[in-house]
Amino acid sequence: MNRYLGDERYELKDRLGHGGMATVYGARDLKLDRDVAIKLLADNFAGDDEVRRRFSREARLAAKLDHPNIVQVFDVGEEEGRPYIVMEQVDGGTLGDRLDGRRRSIPSVEGLRLLSQLCDGLGHAHAKKLVHRDIKPQNLLLRSSDGCLKITDFGIARVAEETTRLTQAGKVIGTERYMAPEQLSDGKITPAVDVYACGVVADELLPQSRPPELREIVERCLREDPSDRFSDARSLGEALATLDGDGEAGVVRRIHSQASPTRRLRPSGPATADWPAPTEVARRRRSIRARAAAVVAALAVVAAGVLIATNSGGSGSSGKADSANQRPAPTTTVPTSSDPAEQARELADFFRAQSR
């Protein structure tokens, strides 16, 4: 016999899983003609007011989140005193199933990809000031079609810095292996408790052969003092984004896109796109002129040295002899042509006249 919820809108199908407080069923939304998952509170908790409040609160908090790595909540309701939550159905098992059934370690490149998705989804929740408090492989679904990771079960989630409590002091809720020290001691709940759980998940997921940078990131997540960990999942994700796994060992590289971009200077003159493109003939002319100018400069230096030596060479003779032997000044002048080749020829004539 078929079983329905929500005034026969949802038709229950096979059981997908169950936990301490609820059972999850596959179902069909007959109104919208789509497959969904329905989380139904266990019958033995229907009379527990605290559990009912927590269950309803999960739906309210999760409905505020809209991210591809978080299971989406569609609807809430109650059937015969038992609250239920209608959610997105994810075809595939959990990360816990994957880890339990593996025969060898998951390659670093795949592990880092899954951790990156976890940080993306959890970072979105932290930005909304929501702390999950129960991150573990069993609450991380893997969609079979593309391997997309989706976070589920916000049943014990809590708003960061919230003053009210739904549990009695000293009553610990969560999975002990993945709980931060302050969570076990009923201390202050911050996004750092989720970061700690992510560190435990990473330690289970990644191969033991890790590069030093990756090992340091995981160890930082697991530090006892919350202030020594990453402040939230987004900060952890940014650290993981600097790593690129490659097989079992893993290779580390920096993501250049994370670096501060270099400020580009704007040209103050005319745009270079408007400048005419130089032709081959123009380039050759500039080259010839440059070489000729260099020759002229070198000859000028030599000429200066010759003139100085000539003027100082006869200082020991008498003034009369100098006067008698003095020749009239040559009429040749210093080169004045603007063409470098012509300048070189005129300069050569000038030197020959000076030596007579």
Torsion of the alpha carbons at 263, 267, 271 and 276, rounded to the nearest 10: -110
The more confidently predicted of residues 87 and 309 is: 87
Report the b/e string of 142-180 with b at 16+ CB within 10 A. Answer: beeeeebbbbbbbbbbbebeeeeeeeeeeeeebeeebbb
The separation between CA 34 and the C-alpha centre of its own chain, rounded to angstroms, equals 36
| pLDDT(69) > 80 | yes
- pLDDT at residue 334 in the model: 56
pLDDT digits (tens, 9 = 90+) for 201-231: 999 999 888 999 999 999 999 999 999 999 9
pLDDT digits (tens, 9 = 90+) for 129-166: 999 999 999 999 999 999 999 999 886 655 554 433 44
- pLDDT at residue 81 in the model: 83
Determine the length of the chain.
Answer: 356
- Find out if CATH 3.30.200.20 is the number for domain 1-89: yes
> Where does the pLDDT of residue 237 fall: very low under 50, low under 70, confident under 90, or very high at 90 and above?
very high
Q: Flag the least confident range among 106-120, 156-170, 263-277, 305-319.
A: 263-277
| pLDDT(191) > 60 | yes
- pLDDT at residue 164 in the model: 38
- pLDDT at residue 307 in the model: 52
3-class secondary structure for 252-315?
Answer: ECCCHHHCCCCCCCCCCCCCHHHCCCCCHHHHHHHHHHHHHHHHHHHHHHHHHHHHHHHHHHCC
- pLDDT at residue 157 in the model: 58
CB-based burial label for 286 (10 Å; 0-12, 13-18, 19+): exposed
The fraction of the chain above a pLDDT of 70, given in percent, is 62
Q: In the chain, where are the structural domains located? A: 1-89, 92-249, 331-356
| pTM tops 0.75 | no
Beta-sheet pairing, 73-79 with 130-131? unpaired
Q: Of 75, 120, 134, 194, which is the active-site residue? A: 134
SS3 state at 186: coil
225 in catalytic set: no
- Find out if CATH 1.10.510.10 is the number for domain 92-249: yes
Q: Flag the least confident range among 36-40, 223-227, 319-323.
A: 319-323
Please give the radius of gyration of the chain, using alpha carbons only, rounded to the nearest integer. Answer: 42
Average pLDDT for residues 108-124, to the nearest whole number?
95
| Domains 1-89 and 92-249 belong to one CATH topology | no
Q: Flag the least confident range among 29-33, 91-95, 275-279.
A: 275-279
Q: The dihedral of CA 221, 226, 227, 233: what is its sign?
A: positive
Average pLDDT for residues 169-176, to the nearest whole number?
60
- Which pair of tokens denotes residue 32? 């919208």
Q: How far apart are CA 285 and CA 151, in angstroms?
A: 71
Could you identify the residue written with the tokens 């270079």? Answer: 272
Q: Flag the least confident range among 196-210, 281-295, 316-330, 331-345.
A: 316-330
Tell me the CA end-to-end span of the chain in Å, nearest whole number: 129
- The rounded mean pLDDT for the chain is 76
> Where does the pLDDT of residue 278 fall: very low under 50, low under 70, confident under 90, or very high at 90 and above?
very low
Query: What does the angle CA 236 – CA 114 – CA 55 come to, to the nearest 5 degrees?
Result: 85
